[in-house]
A and B are shown apart, each in its own frame.
Chain A
Amino acid sequence: MPRAGALKGYCTRVLGDPGAGLRAPFGHAPADACLGGGLRLAALHEVFASPGSEGAAAGFALALAARARGAGKWLLWVRQDFSALENGEIHASGLAEFAIDPGRMLLVRVPDVLGALRAGAESLACKGAGAVIIEAWGRSGVLDLAASRRLTLAAQQHGVTPIVLRSGADLEPSAAETRWLVRSAPSSGGADWGMPAFDAALVRNRHGACGRWLMEWDCNDGSFRPAHSRALAAMPSDRPSAPAVEGLRQAG
């Protein structure tokens, strides 16, 4: 079986050893358990916004990046110009409130998805970067399987974590380690306005099971925690999610 062996060697080289690598814990116990300890570093992660939940998806991607970034490293956000028109400019005062230091963040504005990939690849090769958010708007033939493989390779090579944030897009096949489908969720705290809450569905996990959780981002210490809100009762948080979401995973 020399060919199978070669293929396996190639897979290990390209995709890395399953389960190996450093992980950044979410701070949300069920999600961490499902992911084998947390978000895998130096691997590609995708965050898809449910229609209407672009704000929540951006917050979730930012939270992932903040967890994955590592001490002293920079956070890079590569944005397509159209995203700023559609979803608003990044507001640094809001970042500071979200437990992210805007002083160690770089914003790269690019005209199109191709530019976003170029700038993303360039950023991934930088040792000063910890995490790179690549935000693209709409369907695009450019962010395909091959592009996601290139990002994965670049991430493995340089140890930087890329997070692709997409809104208005279909779930296309990709080589991502995890894929999240994010909806906004009512914040906890009764009638009061609480911490940001996400309904995060892990619809694809290369090395483990999928799941769906209600998470809350704690803006004080910059970590996730389980959310307790009225909507929680209707949702199973401890077992894999609804079949509809499973179907999406097959597509990936």
Chain B
Amino acid sequence: MAGKIDNALRLTAVDAAAARLGLRAGKALADARAMIPDLAVTGADEAADMKLLEAAADWCERYTPLVALDFPHGLLLDITGTAHLFGGETAMLKEIRRAIVSQGFALQLALAGTAQAARALAQYARAAIVAPGREAEAVAPLPAEALNTEPHIIHALKRAGLKTIGQVAARGRHELAARFGGDFVSVLDRTLGRKAVPIMPRTPLPDLMAERRFAEPVVTEPVIAETLLSLGKTLASILESRGAGARILEASFFRSDGQMRRIAIETGQPSRDPAIFARLFRERLAALADPLDPGFGFDLIRLSACLAQPMRAQSASLDANSADAEIALLIDKLAARFGSHRVMRFQPQDTHIPEAASVAVPAQHCEASGPAWPKHRAPDEAPLRPLRLFAKAEPVEMLAQVPDGQPLRFRWRRALHHVTKAEGPERIAMEWWRHQEPQPSRDYYRVEDEAGRRFWLYRDGIQGREAAHPRWYVHGLFA
């Protein structure tokens, strides 16, 4: 495989046969071609590598939720407290090796007290498991490169005759810190297992999770639904003991052949009713554009509460206003099926710009009772605001207007409209503090044509002052 490094085509990866012929990653492609004229080369695709690594990381989440990427070829797993689920560390490593090799990957695996020690061992030693506290011993014979620090430091170490980590570690810390900086010493400490720094997981750790493993992978829908329900019950009991409810739940489906799929649901209010969870997941799964494909079956299903919030004691007030409670359930259900951005409520905004005065916001993220709606019209007056507003005002061709600016005849969507009644103008100035450039004021007219159709037209800019020939737009339709 070859790719561009420092503006030159170089080998980025070699297979076993090429390695036997003496090729190494980093060699210029021209040199490699000179050595082996019929070398088979394919272009490197970093994005695809990244994607593959991500997929592998997804898959590895079955062993622990704490998985970090170590680009370009590595994964770091923090298995603190999970090894016993797989029958101990030795058995777990064996299982991981078996599973990954069976998918056709080559693998170097190591387990140590710190991520850096494990990485050094995996890359340079192929050692399997280091007993707690023995990291320094295990990494001592490794070459200095195994420190995975900046190339110029490695180079300097080697020039100083420090070829192995053991030799580096034997020097005084002050000496090393003075020569290479404090960062280098902490890298060394971590590699020697003296100081542990937690890995940075790819996905935030869920607040709570429950999972079930299957000796025999499950395929059928009822079993999956039943599993989600019982995991939901487990989560609900934990949530209850904490006085919390879940807002976002994520189900992870691990396929035995290595694929992994995440499905999330969201509720408007914290909830811990397993029946509601199950129903929302049913809606979500039924509405997936790309349905959940069990392939040869799922061998692990995990349910995580990604966001748990304290539940207020609100059952009493819910009873008092059961319509709102029912609507909240409906909102969650519709959001699970259609997406939360498709179930909206309206909220008034403190502005007089028509298109900004009321916004539709996802109902799940909306306050139960918002501020009051401003009334524009006086009693007995007809509505001043249209029922429908175009997201983007549509230009109209104004064919005639009286001298003071009232529209008389206009063409919109190829139809001609004779204005019989016009009320206006209602001048709305743009909010100057929001825009860099001054925006023209709009003069709004409510007009009715001969058939009783009612439009909300505006002239963009004050004639003569802000624009020589202001354009006209239809912004909304009245009933």
Contacts and interface: CB of A to CB of B under 8 A. Distances in A.
A60 B478 CA distance: 11
A13 to B, nearest CB: 26
A237 to B, nearest CB: 16
Contacts of A122: 330, 333-334, 337
Contact of A90 (B388, B415, B420): B388
A92 interface: yes
Interface string A185-203: 1110001111111110000
B456 to A, nearest CB: 9
Given A94-B476, A186-B420, A126 B329 contact: yes
Contact of B391 (A52, A54, A84, A186): A84
A73 interface: yes
A75 B67 CA distance: 46
A198 B453 CA distance: 10
A119 B454 contact: no
B384 A184 contact: no
**Looking at chain A's contact residues, is the secondary structure mostly helix, strand, loop, or mixed?**
mixed
B9 interface: no
Contact of A119 (B338, B345, B360): B338
Interface residues of B, number: 61
A87 B389 CA distance: 8
Interface in A217-250: 217, 219-220, 231
Contact of A87 (B321, B344, B477): B477
Given A193-B421, A220-B380, A59 B323 contact: no
Contact of A91 (B337, B347, B369, B389): B389
A91 B385 contact: yes
Interface centre among B331, B390, B452 (most CB of A within 10 A): B452
Given A184-B452, A191-B421, A94 B386 contact: yes
A163 B383 CA distance: 23
A129 B325 CA distance: 11
B379 A98 contact: no
B452 A199 contact: yes
A88 B476 contact: yes
Interface string B372-392: 011111011011111111110
Contacts of B354: 91, 93
A138 to B, nearest CB: 16
B330 A128 contact: yes
Interface stretch (B236-244, B308-316, B443-451): B443-451
Interface string A71-108: 01110000000001101111111111110011101111
A59 B478 contact: yes
A106 B369 CA distance: 13
A108 B335 CA distance: 9
A185 B479 CA distance: 10
Interface string B228-271: 00000000000000000000000000000000000000000000
Interface in A26-69: 52-56, 58-60, 62-63
Contacts of A194: 382
Given A59-B479, A122-B334, A128-B322, A185 B452 contact: yes
B18 interface: no
A169 interface: no
A184 B451 contact: yes
A53 B479 CA distance: 9
Given A93-B354, A196-B383, A52 B451 contact: yes
Interface centre among A63, A84, A127 (most CB of B within 10 A): A127
A101 B385 CA distance: 14
B323 A74 contact: yes
A16 interface: no
Given A103-B369, A109-B342, A127-B323, A97 B334 contact: no
Given A90-B387, A91-B388, A193 B382 contact: yes
B367 to A, nearest CB: 10
B327 interface: yes
B344 A107 contact: yes
A115 interface: yes
A161 interface: no
Nearest to A72: B323
Contacts of A103: 345-346, 369-370, 373
A105 B346 contact: yes
Given A87-B388, A92-B360, A94-B385, 15 more contacts: A55-B477, A88-B477, A89-B360, A89-B391, A90-B387, A91-B358, A91-B476, A93-B348, A93-B358, A94-B383, A106-B363, A119-B338, A187-B448, A191-B421, A196-B479
27 contacts: A72-B323, A73-B323, A74-B323, A88-B388, A88-B391, A91-B386, A91-B389, A93-B373, A93-B376, A95-B346, A96-B385, A98-B383, A98-B387, A102-B346, A106-B330, A106-B343, A107-B344, A109-B342, A110-B342, A119-B337, A123-B330, A128-B322, A184-B454, A186-B420, A187-B421, A187-B454, A231-B452
Interface of B: 321-327, 329-331, 333-334, 337-338, 342-348, 354, 357-358, 360, 363, 369-370, 373-377, 379-380, 382-391, 415, 420-423, 446, 448, 450-454, 476-479
